[in-house]
Chain A
């Protein structure tokens, strides 16, 4: 373990795992990394792995064998970071990314909100599998389709239909609320209260959900004036 750890460093990044290779022989490092995966198969199961290979020059054959080794262990290789243009070219040839700075468009996290009073404005429909997370409030101009997830530290306002999951006050703020033009969500959460409303409406009306004086999550129609 000591020897393998010194060869390959693994850490978690936003897009999965990043393995940084030392300046040793490529084959030895591959063996070391695969051994590390075999030691903790549960941890690596289904992981997306990016590899920083430094200045090593790699050919297609090297990468293909290694990628097959990883996929046998149910780990998918998606990026190769390299200082060598040849290696970058090889990676691109295999359809692998060569940069990891680009945020994954499906998952927008904005953890750098300085204040709870800040709001994130999203002007598109969120589809199944997409997730928006923000420490402040979230305003969505569009629908939240079934299978999409919104997690906000503050309140959530949706100018559209909600059919997915919304969690407001995710940091424990029980005064947060959720408003939408049509609130037929799969599930609503405010702080640690969970409510499965699921009531598709014939004539949807704007609603607001909050935690009432009895401490229950409840939604009511929005009345103007």
Chain B
């Protein structure tokens, strides 16, 4: 088997890259795929916390690069899914400790033994970002329906085009259908119109995402969460399945009933 390397990036910080990595990796692992996540944010590592593996770190990616341990030793097995591993970032170093060719080499070593390698890119367009996209077969750009986030995503897409990374798709995160309906938020159509790249998923705003991140239990494992459902759908699309987009307008439960009664729908 030869793995597909997927890099998740955004340009702007705080739009949900790390959350997307943790959720997509979990969703792919639930589907029985062998997944390795790499935290590319050297010096500001977070992925281990979101995945709930913080206390298991012994070696990190810089230890591998500088030859202090073998690649296998830096791979932390997930608590729930033995087919999912994390290679954590170093917290005490900076982006210059890794080079794009180091990333290509590590991914090459991992490719033979997994189905998906998911790289969490740091924010920005400097060294850390360059490292993260170097080995990528596919790049998913995460953005929020905010003008500033879309502007940064546009910059990133421009760089990816210049680097001839053809396989680029968009994840629109934290969309609030009610705000969109009241014309207080950019809609998915507005964002796509501006960026002009393929859409692979729209994740609605959902409190349970934050709660899941803080607990180290990604929301994708919560069957009731709509954001979790959106991430599960994206994971299916990554595997090549044709899954229709969710109807985000359709509100279930009490809130939907109230909205229907008050005529906001």
List A residues at the B interface (Cβ < 8 Å). 67-68, 71, 76, 92-95, 104-106, 125-130, 145-147
> Is B158's CB under 8 angstroms from A68's CB?
no
CB–CB A127/B154 < 8 A: yes
What residues of A have a CB within 8 angstroms of the CB of B154 in the complex? 127-128, 145-147
Determine if A95 and B100 form an interchain contact, defined as CB atoms under 8 angstroms apart.
Answer: yes
A94-B101, A95-B100 known; A127+B158 contact, CB < 8 A? yes
A127 and B157 in contact (CB under 8 A), knowing A145-B194, A146-B151? yes
Structural contact, B158 and A129, CB atoms closer than 8 A: yes
Interface string of B146-159 (1 = CB under 8 A from A): 00000110110111
Apart from A95-B100, A127-B157, A128-B151, what are 20 other A-B pairs with CB-CB below 8 Å? A68-B96, A76-B127, A92-B101, A95-B101, A95-B102, A95-B104, A106-B158, A106-B159, A106-B162, A126-B158, A127-B154, A127-B155, A127-B158, A127-B161, A129-B158, A129-B159, A145-B194, A146-B154, A147-B154, A147-B155
Q: Is B101 a contact partner of A93 (Cβ separation < 8 A)?
A: yes
Task: Name which residue of chain A comes closest to B130, CB basis.
Answer: A95
A69, chain B: closest CB distance, angstroms: 11
Residue total for B at the interface (Cβ-Cβ under 8 A)? 20
- Cβ–Cβ < 8 Å partners of B210 in chain A: none
Taking a contact as CB atoms under 8 Å apart, the answer to whether A129 and B101 are in contact is no
Contacts of A95 in B (CB 8 A): 99-102, 104, 130, 134
Docked complex Cα distance between A130 and B155 (Å)? 8
Query: A-B pairs with CB below 8 Å: how many?
Result: 44
| Beta-carbon nearest neighbor of A125 in chain B | B196
Expressed in whole angstroms, the Cα–Cα distance for A165 and B161 within the complex equals 21
Of B101, B154, B155, B161, which is in contact with the most chain A CB atoms at under 10 Å from its CB? B154
**Could you tell me the distance in whole angstroms from the C-beta of A65 to the nearest C-beta in chain B?**
12
